[in-house]
């Protein structure tokens, strides 16, 4: 695994036939050394992979000593390095076309346009003037073409907002999650598309789609697009499901997908799914755990299996509805969370986390790294889920100064 992802812990821990080796950036290890000493990790080596080839050299020497069966990315910035090595060694991977399209949002737009997949008007942008030239009086979105977690993605409603939004986009950071050396980012403008949002999680083995799930999601709204809630499976009827999955299949075919797990995001506008973006890896935000609990399919396990050249037996067994909701405390200095006992005592909450310390300034939710925590539930049906979320939200109170 290039770039550690703790979401794989449960799957690796229960599979005695697997040994996980991790290749990670030195700066990221130094920022969180405890995470890399976990018992489910066999060995950790250091190598630079964020827009750098050093990790590939380290991995080649490692592979020569003890050949790997699977190379996978734990994080978005490791996608190209990981699959490049897999391709070099003749191991399972999504295919060069899919890897490139899923790590370059501008290229993805070009591929989707050629395939006839609905999407917003778009253009590459290298300056404020480019963004102003793109603006036609309706809301647009400024976004990096090769970043992650909604970092630097900003809605603009008037031409006068473009200069400050451009500055904010181009100076956005990720703290310890990216390295200190200079990294190259590209940018694009897109027409803003309104409507409900969904994601689709697809497991593909040698070109065949073995499993698909539709997740409903909510974002923070306003200027930003940070995700604040997911429900799976999404409450869509059969007609909507067929329409959505038809567009997903068209996209996967256009990208020449081979094997892997894909997480595509869509907005439904006037009943038509419009592509937002697509990743060639499992999603974050606890979505794999939501799917595992609601349908009995482990995306992480399926991911490893298809990359290992093994066809997984994925039998969907819809047994519950699951959700994760991220906290939205008001702006200010965090004092305490009242009503936390409701989370501990709920028969439906299986996980929760508060990411604020007393005295800490509440983040602005401009990207996924800025969230304040979450709670995750498993309920017998959608009605119980909606009721329990309402009860919990009423009982929770963030005290801020």
Q: What is the DSSP letter of 333?
A: B
Residue 201 Cα distances to 40, 85, 215, 279, 303, angstroms: 26, 24, 8, 10, 11
Confidence of residue 222 (pLDDT cuts 50, 70, 90): very high
d(CA 151, CA 169): 8
Give the number of C-alpha atoms closer than 13 A to the C-alpha of residue 89, restricted to the C-beta side.
25
d(CA 266, CA 193): 10
d(CA 302, CA 204): 9
Identify whether the C-beta of residue 171 lies closer than 8 Å to the C-beta of residue 270: no
d(CA 199, CA 275): 10
Q: pLDDT (tens digit, 9 = 90+) per residue, 334-371?
A: 999 999 999 999 999 999 999 999 999 998 888 999 89
pLDDT number for residue 315? 84
pLDDT number for residue 316? 83
Pinpoint the alpha helices (H) of 41-183: 54-65, 79-88, 96-102, 105-115, 128-134, 162-171
| Average pLDDT over all residues of the chain | 96
Cα 186-226-80 angle, rounded to 5 deg = 40
Average pLDDT of the residues in 80-108: 98
Confidence of residue 201 (pLDDT cuts 50, 70, 90): very high
Single out the residue of 194, 191, 188, 47 nearest to residue 120, CA to CA.
191
Confidence (pTM): 0.96
Confidence of residue 317 (pLDDT cuts 50, 70, 90): confident
CB atoms within 10 A of CB 288: 27
pLDDT number for residue 156? 98
Identify whether the C-beta of residue 143 lies closer than 8 Å to the C-beta of residue 105: yes
d(CA 308, CA 303): 9
Average pLDDT of the residues in 123-127: 98
d(CA 145, CA 222): 21
Q: pLDDT (tens digit, 9 = 90+) per residue, 229-263?
A: 999 999 999 999 999 999 999 999 999 999 999 99
């Amino acid at each position: 695994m290039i770039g550690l992802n703790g979401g794989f812990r449960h799957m690796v821990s229960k599979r005695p036939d697997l040994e996980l080796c991790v290749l990670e950036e030195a700066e990221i290890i130094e920022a969180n050394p405890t995470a890399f000493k976990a018992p489910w990790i066999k060995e950790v080596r250091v190598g630079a992979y964020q827009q750098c080839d050093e990790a590939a050299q380290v991995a080649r020497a490692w592979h020569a000593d003890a050949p790997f069966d699977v190379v996978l990315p734990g994080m978005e910035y490791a996608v190209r390095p990981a699959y490049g090595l897999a391709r070099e060694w003749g191991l399972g991977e999504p295919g060069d076309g899919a890897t490139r399209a899923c790590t370059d949002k501008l290229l993805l737009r070009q591929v989707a346009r050629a395939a006839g997949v609905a999407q917003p008007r778009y253009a590459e942008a290298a300056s404020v003037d480019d963004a102003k030239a793109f603006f036609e009086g309706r809301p647009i979105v400024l976004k990096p073409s090769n970043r992650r977690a909604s970092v630097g993605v900003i809605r603009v409603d008037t031409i006068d907002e473009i200069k400050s939004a451009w500055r904010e986009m181009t100076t956005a950071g990720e703290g310890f999650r990216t390295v200190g050396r200079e990294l190259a980012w590209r940018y694009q403008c897109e027409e803003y598309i309104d409507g409900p949002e969904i994601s689709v999680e697809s497991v593909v083995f040698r070109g065949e789609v073995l499993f698909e799930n539709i997740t409903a999601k909510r974002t923070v709204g306003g200027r930003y697009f940070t995700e604040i809630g997911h429900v799976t499976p999404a409450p869509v009827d059969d007609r909507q499901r067929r329409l959505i999955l038809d567009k997903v299949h068209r996209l996967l075919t256009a990208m020449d997908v081979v094997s892997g797990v894909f997480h595509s995001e869509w907005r439904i506008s006037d009943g038509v799914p419009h592509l937002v973006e697509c990743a060639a890896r499992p999603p974050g935000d606890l979505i794999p755990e939501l799917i595992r609990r609601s349908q009995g399919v482990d995306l992480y396990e399926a991911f490893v299996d298809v990359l290992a050249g093994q066809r997984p037996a994925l039998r969907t067994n819809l047994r519950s509805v699951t959700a994760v909701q991220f906290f939205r405390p008001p702006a200010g200095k965090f004092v305490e969370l009242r009503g936390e006992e409701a989370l501990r005592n709920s028969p439906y909450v299986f996980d929760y986390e508060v990411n604020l310390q007393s005295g800490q300034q509440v983040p602005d939710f401009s990207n996924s790294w800025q969230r304040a925590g979450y709670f995750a539930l498993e309920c017998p049906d959608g009605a119980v889920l909606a009721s329990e979320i309402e009860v919990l939200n009423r009982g929770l109170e963030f005290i801020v100064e």
